[in-house]
Amino acid sequence: MAENTFKLHIVTPDKSFYDDEVSRVMFKSTEGDIAVLYDHIPLTTTLVSGMAIIYKDNKEYPAVLHGGFAEIKEESVTILSDAAEWPDDIDLDRANAAKERAQSRSQEQEEQISQARVNASLMRAVARIDLLEYHKNKSNE
């Protein structure tokens, strides 16, 4: 293990999304944004849909995580996420369409539509769009 790095393992129901040594990882939890460095205090937290940034070898690797849990230990972080995506996995037009659908559904008063489901769809779409904007801005630097 390199000095001041820790093991990051991100797992989804269908794959191991990321498994390597990193110097830092940032992600969104129900308590707010969390940044984890080497020798972090142990913590278990619930994730919400949002952008995550993995730092390795002085480079940033942005991704989006859709819910789940993180177990933080002194020398490792394990994230069990419902889904995880790299910028290249996301279609901006499709994400924008999903965002618009979720926003219009949230304005409907039909009992058939679960407000929690609509909010989750909206959060996923916004997280995807945020990731693509971040990645585009970083690529232009």
Q: What residue segments make up the domains of the chain, in order of their start?
A: 6-85, 89-139
Per CATH, domain 6-85 is 3.40.80.10 = no
> Please, which residues bridge with residue 34 across strands?
27
* pLDDT digits 0-9 by tens, 26-38: 999 999 999 999 9
- Looking at domain 89-139, its CATH architecture is Up-down Bundle (1.20)
Q: Which residue ranges of the chain lie beneath pLDDT 50?
A: none
Rounded to whole angstroms, the Cα distance separating 138 from 12 reads 26
